[in-house]
Amino acid sequence: MFTITVSNAQKAVELTYNLNVGDKYEFNTELNQDISFDANGQTMTLEQVMSFQMGTEVNSITDGLIMQDLKFEKVSMNQKIFGMELNYNSEDESTWTGMGAQIADQFNKIIGLSINFGMDNKGSIEQIDLSKVKGVDDLTNNLTSGSNYALYPEGKIKVGESWEKNIKPLKGSEMKVFIKYTLLKITKKQVVISLDGTLSGNVVDGTEVKLDGVTEGELIVDINTGMLVNSTMDIDLTIEIEQQGMKIPANIISTSTTTVVKK
d(CA 249, CA 37): 6
pLDDT computed for residue 167 by the predictor: 82
d(CA 76, CA 52): 6
CB 195 within 8 A of CB 209: no
b/e map 89-121, b = 16+ CB within 10 Å: bbeeeebbeeebeebbeebeebeeebbebbbbb
Residue 155 backbone phi and psi in degrees, to 5:
80, 180
Single pTM value for the model: 0.85
User: What CATH number should be reported for the domain whose range is 2-252?
Assistant: 2.30.230
Note the Cα 137 to chain centre separation in Å: 10
Task: Return per-residue pLDDT of the chain as tens, 263 residues.
Answer: 333 343 444 689 999 999 999 999 999 999 999 999 876 677 888 999 999 999 999 999 999 999 999 998 999 999 998 888 899 999 999 999 887 888 888 888 889 888 889 999 999 988 887 766 655 555 555 555 566 889 999 999 999 999 999 886 555 556 788 999 999 999 999 999 999 999 887 755 556 678 899 999 999 999 999 999 999 999 999 988 776 667 778 899 999 999 999 99
Where are the chain's structural domains? 2-252
The residues, ordered by sequence, that sit 6+ positions from 9 with a Cβ below 8 Å of its Cβ are: 158, 159, 160
